[in-house]
Structure 1
Amino acid sequence: MKFGRLMIFITNINEARSFYNGILGFEVTDENDHSIIFDVGGVELIAFLGDKEREIGDYSNESRSVIVFEVSSVNETFQTLKAKGVRFLHEEPNETETNIYAAFVDPFKNVHEIEELK
């Protein structure tokens, strides 16, 4: 078994395009009435249209999946995305012995993280 594609659920394709392409910079590779597909470093991220929003909840203590995007500098990416209006769940990036990370949410309350490995 290996990873194929990643899938998230959204409630508005135009808003997904604006966020994932316009703000995060992922290339749109396909789109139809029910989904939009982005290329994220050679991996497909499918944003599939649903009709119910979710709550963010206590993301690090609840059973859920989180997509982690590796970046060269969490601090720089954090500041850049924050300036573009991205909502982070932490005031500042967190640091552990092995990485630096910060969690953010998309317009549909999907939680993602940016991570810099040490």
Structure 2
Amino acid sequence: MRKPVIITLIIALIFTFISPFIFSKYLEDVPEPLEQSFLFGGPFPYAKQSVTVSDDTSSYPKVIEFTSPLDAETSIQWVPFLLNILSYFLLFFSIYSITSRFINGRATRKEKEDQP
């Protein structure tokens, strides 16, 4: 049982690190201060980056993409980061548990009690 937990935790970490690149921010209008801080990631946004947006109204609506932490200053909020890992872990471990039960054909508790 230890091996599937470790593999699922690694997959959850990978998805957590990839999630800021998947979920983008959407702006409809020009924000009041042009220097904005956006949170990226999902399902709980955890990576905070400051972005200067243009004041040209013709470029809106605008999609703000997450840039690499090596290129831009990024701060990590640890509580949402840990909640991301936990949520992805629970999702993938439940999927693993359901599929392994169907593939291995393990009997449920009721089926075991009914057998003589």
**TM-score (ref. length: structure 2):** 0.22
Higher strand share: 1
Greater gyration radius: 2
Higher helix proportion: 2
